[in-house]
Amino acid sequence: MSLVKAGQLDYLNELFSRYSKRIYNYFLKSTLERAESDDLTQELFIRVMKYRNSYKEGHSVQFWIFQIARNMIKDHFRKMKIHKDQFNLVEVIPEREDVGDDELFEREKKLHRAMKELSDEKRELLVLSKFQGMKYEQIAKMRDTTVSNIKVQVHRTIKELKEAYFQLEEV
């Protein structure tokens, strides 16, 4: 990132190949909308390029990029609340071939259906902590709150997700 900041824009390609998949899946699993995730991902890397001078030397690039992504997703959720009826939530699971066996594929499908039952903010929290494997410390820093607060929120949301997940089984 320091090289990009110094004007060596060729290194943006490397940043893109390193983070694009994680960022795309963060948007996709948090918003559950493919077209919006396409646009958000593209827009994010344009912002990274445009605001490269705001990156502080020595800080985590991943953290900086996810902070930009989070701000974008917060705006997106705000927009969603206003125009909720205009959006259709979609299946965002990988293709069957990517998942491997049938049992895993079914489990994945069920998980994503259950995720739809969560509020946007709660879903995004689980995407960061469980799908992206981000540490509670990092999420707390990103959300400007305490680690214990994040931990409580994540645990409560898992509990809520579990209820939705096993209710799907009964239907």
Binding site for other proteins (CB under 8 A): 7, 9-10, 12-13, 16-17, 20-22, 24-25, 28-29, 38, 41-42, 45-46, 49-50, 92-94, 97-99, 104, 107-108, 110-111, 114, 126, 130-131, 133, 152, 155-156, 158-159, 161-162, 165-166
Give me the least distance between CB of 49 and other proteins, in Å please. 5
State how far the Cα of 63 lies from the Cα of 85, in Å rounded to an integer.
Answer: 33
Give me the least distance between CB of 96 and other proteins, in Å please. 10
| 98 vs 144 by CB, closer to other proteins | 98
Rounded to 5 degrees, what angle do the CA atoms 67, 87, 28 make?
40
Tell me how crowded residue 85 is: count the other CB atoms within 10 A of its CB: 6
CA 168 from centroid of its chain's CA atoms: 24
Give me the least distance between CB of 73 and other proteins, in Å please. 16
| 42 vs 145 by CB, closer to other proteins | 42
| 77 vs 131 by CB, closer to other proteins | 131
Give me the least distance between CB of 19 and other proteins, in Å please. 10
| 85 vs 152 by CB, closer to other proteins | 152
